Structure 1
Amino acid sequence: MEAESALESLHSLILKDIMPKIETMPVVTSDTDVINVLKVLRSRHHVWVVEDRESMELVGVIRYLDVIDVLLSPDTHNFKLGMTSRSLKSLLGGATRAGDIAERYVLTIEEDATVLDALKKMRRYRIQVLAVVKDGRLVGEISLRILINELLRLLRVGGTQWKP
């Protein structure tokens, strides 16, 4: 399969058909202890935070870089009126649970969207992973890594890989 054809195929794929199973994703509940969140982040770039495992209502996301705010002391943060202070996300500032440190503004995409829709959103907001939702519930994720793997799968021809 040549590159143009592979990209057309990739762009038309539906997210729910290629996203990983929810059981394999880094997901914690809002009341998960911060220390357990940090344990997950040792080997993952993000953790999805849901209200509970039954509803899977998306609360937020904790990204690897967000850990900086958790580790800093509250006095190192500049408080700005009208904004939630990052100092509240610090362990020393009182954060104890995943819900305390999760970023609440999560970019989401519906499970029946296409890869092209996801790529456009990723480019627009300069992010590498989107929460895939259905009726406000977390059902999966789509990342650049997943999309790269899918493109490479499409480029294989008879057991050999496509070469430019």
Structure 2
Amino acid sequence: MSVESALEKFHSLKLTDIMPTSETMPVVTADADLISVLKILRTRHHVWVVENKESMKLVGVIRYIDVIDVLLPPEAHKFKLGMTSRTMRSMLGGAAKAEDIAERHVLTIEEDTTVLEALMKMRKYRIQVLAVVKDGKLVGEVSIRILIDELLRLLRVGGAQWKQ
């Protein structure tokens, strides 16, 4: 298989065919305490926040970089206009649960979408991971790392070689 045909196959793959099982995803419930969230973020770049494990209704996402707002004291966020949403995300500002610090505007993609569509959305919004949903429920995730792994798997299986 040539690199071109491997890429063609790669782009047409459905996300359901390549996304990891939901058991391996970093997921917490909305009422999870912040210590649990921080423990996950030691080894992951994000944590999905869901209403509960039964419904898996997506509430938001907490990214590794968002922890800065959680750790800073509330006064570090204050501007002339007073309180900001970031002030409320501070542990010292009262944030206690995952839902208190989760980013509610999560970029999602439907599970029957192709790799090419996922890549286009990632590029458009300059993000590295998308929540894969079905009827508002979190069913998986797709990240640049997952996509790289899948392309490398295709190239190895197909015996294609990169030529410079």
Q: Shorter-chain-normalised TM-score: which range?
A: over 0.9
Say whether the 8 Å CA contact 1:79–1:86 is kept in structure 2.
Answer: no
Is the alpha carbon distance of 1:140 and 1:79 closer, same or farther for their aligned partners in structure 2, counting shifts above 3 Å?
farther
Moved over 6 A (4+): none
Q: Which amino acid aligns with 1:130?
A: L
C-alpha distance in 2, partners of 1:116/1:31? 35
Structure 1, unpaired ranges of 5+ = none
Say whether the 8 Å CA contact 2:3–2:162 is kept in structure 1.
Answer: no
Q: How far off its partner does 1:78 sit?
A: 3.4
Deviations along 1:108-160, one digit per CA (max 9) or x if unpaired, are: 000000000000000000000000000000000000000001100111147x5
Is 1:8 paired with 2:18?
A: no
Is 1:131 paired with 2:131?
A: yes
Give the equivalent residue in structure 1 for 2:111: 111
C-alpha distance in 1, partners of 2:80/2:46? 26
Say whether the 8 Å CA contact 1:7–1:151 is kept in structure 2.
Answer: yes
SS in 2 for 1:43: coil
Q: Which amino acid aligns with 2:118?
A: A
Percent identity reads: 73
Is the alpha carbon distance of 1:9 and 1:23 closer, same or farther for their aligned partners in structure 2, counting shifts above 3 Å?
same
Structure-2-length-normalised TM-score: 0.94
C-alpha distance in 2, partners of 1:115/1:128? 13
Say whether the 8 Å CA contact 1:50–1:57 is kept in structure 2.
Answer: yes
Give the equivalent residue in structure 2 for 1:50: 50
Q: How far off its partner does 1:84 sit?
A: 5.0
Structure 2, unpaired ranges of 5+ = none
Say whether the 8 Å CA contact 1:20–1:141 is kept in structure 2.
Answer: yes
Say whether the 8 Å CA contact 1:87–1:93 is kept in structure 2.
Answer: yes
Is the alpha carbon distance of 1:103 and 1:151 closer, same or farther for their aligned partners in structure 2, counting shifts above 3 Å?
same
Q: Which amino acid aligns with 2:119?
A: L
